[in-house]
Structure 1
C-alpha cells in the first residue's frame, strides 16, 4: 500500500520544503521601499479625501429616488458651489455630502435639492457636522496610536528582545503607510470608520508577527552551542514552519471582511461598513505581507551583527567548507565531530589514569 504523502504544511514545518525568504530579503526590502515611497508621494501630492466629519459640512438623506447618482451630484454641486459626494443606499435612497456649509447655506441647498429631485423638502433629512468634532476624533486617534506603539515595543522587548520589538514597530508603520497611501491613490474617503479600521488592523498585523517571533525564539534557543545552522537559516525555517498557519489565518480573516466590503458596502450601500471594511481589507493583506517578508528578515539582519552570531556563522561556514573538501555530507561531519569529542574525552581519561597509577607506584616505593 502506497504511503500517504504528508501535507505541505507538515513538510514545511519539518524543513523538507522551504522557500528562502531571508536570502531574498533585499528583494522584499526594495519592493516595500518602492511601495512606501509611492504612498508618501501620493500623500504629499494628492493628500487624503477627508470625509464630512473632518472638514465640516452637511449630509442630506433623501427617500427612495429614481435620480441617478451622477445627476444628484450635479444638482448638489450647482446648489452649493462645492464638491459633493453622493452614495446610493440599499433602499434606493441617496446620501449627499457637501463640505464647507454653515446652517444658513445648508437650508438653502436643502430647498434647492428638493426642487431638483422632485421631493418634498420635509422628506429630506439634513445633518450639519462641525469640523471641530472630526478634529477631536483625529487627535484621540493619534493619541491612541502613539500609546499602542509604545506598549507594543515595551511588551515585545520584555517577552522577546529589543530587536524583535524594533522590527515589529517598523512592520506596523509599514502597514499603516501602505494602507493610507492606497486611500490617497484611489481617492477613498477618510471617515471615522476609516480611523476605526486603521486602529483595528494594528492588532491583526501584530498577531502574525508574534506567531513567527515565538517560533523563532524557540528555534534559536542555545543556537550558539551548535554548528549546523546560522541564525538566518533558523529564522527562515521559522517563517516556513508558520507559513501555512499565517496564510490560513489571513484568508479566514479576509473572507468576512470581503463580505462586508463587497456585499455590505457595494450591494447594500452601507457607508460606515464600507469605510471600516476597506481599511481592514487593505491593512490585513499588508500585515500578512510584512510579518513574513519584513519583520523576521529585519530581526535576522539585526541579530547577524552580534559578535556571538557572527562567530557562529563563521564556524558553520568553516564546517561546511571542510565537509565539502572531504566530500562529506553535513550529517557525516556532525558524526565525525561527535566522535572526535568522545576520542578527546577518552584521551583525557587515559592521561589521568596513567598519572594516578604513577602516583600510587611512587607511594609504594616510598
Structure 2
C-alpha cells in the first residue's frame, strides 16, 4: 500500500484561495493577516492535516537531531527537573530537545503536541496531563517513536518509564506506623491521576497489613494556593491527625503552609512525610522527611528507552519502574501522649 503523500503548503493555499505567502504569514505569525484570511487558512490546514516541515531546514543545515518533550506544566519543579535530566542525557549523544507545556489542559496538550510534531522530531517524550491522554491518538498516528513518562494512563500500550508509586507510598506509610502513628491523613493532588491513585493504593495496603483503619484522604488540587486553602479548611473542621503524608511537592508545601496558619508545629503536633526531595526540604526548619524520586534516572532511562526505538528499531514494548527512597529527617517523630488542640485565628 503506497504511503499517503503529505499535504503541501501550496495545497493549503489553493484550498483557502490565498497565496502561499499568506499561508506562510498565518502559520509563522510574521506579518499581520486579516481575521477572515487567517480563518480560511486555518480551516484549510485543519481539513488537510497539514504540518509545516520545519525539520527540513535543520537537516539541510546539518543541525543536531531533535527530541520533543511535552510536560503538563513548567511551574512544577518536578517536571522541570525531569526536563533537565532528559536534556543532559540527549545532548551527550548529539541530540537537542524542544520543550512545551500543556498547562494541565487536555486540549492544550493536543495543540502543543501538534506544534512539536510539525518539527518532525526524531522522537517524543510525553508526560500526559491526565488519564484520558487526549493526545495519544495523534501521537500514534504520527508514527514518531515515543515514550510515556511518569503519568501512565491505565491500559496504555506504549514504552513507559515511571517510579513504583505503590512501593514509594508504602515506604512513607511504614515509617509513620513504626513511629506509632495510627491516625494519618493523606493529602493528594487529584484522584484523576493514575500515579496518585497508585500511591493511595500502596498506603491502604500498608495500613491493612498493619491491621490499622484506613487513613483519611483529602484532594487538595494541583496548585499551591488550592492545596493550602483546601487543607487549612479540612484541618480546622476535623479531628487532627498525628501524621500527614503529602503525595506531591505542591501538597507538601501546602501542608506546611496550612499547619503554620493554624499554629501547629512540625513534628511536635503533627509529623509530616513529603513527596519529592528538593534542596529547600533540607534547609527548612525542621528539615523535611521525604520520598525521593530518582528524577535524573527517570530522564536518563526515558532517553535510553527512546534511543533504542529510534536507532535500533526495537518493536517490543518496554516497561521500566524505578524505586524511590525515603529520606528521614526532622519532620517526623514518635507519637506523644498528648496533643494540643487546634486554635483558629479568625481575625
TM-score, normalized by the shorter chain, greater than 0.5: no
Q: Which protein shows a greater Rg?
A: 1
**Greater helix content:** 1
**Greater strand content:** 2
TM-score, normalisation: structure 2: 0.24
Specify which structure has the bigger relative contact order, considering alpha-carbon pairs within 8 angstroms and separated by 6 or more residues. Answer: 1
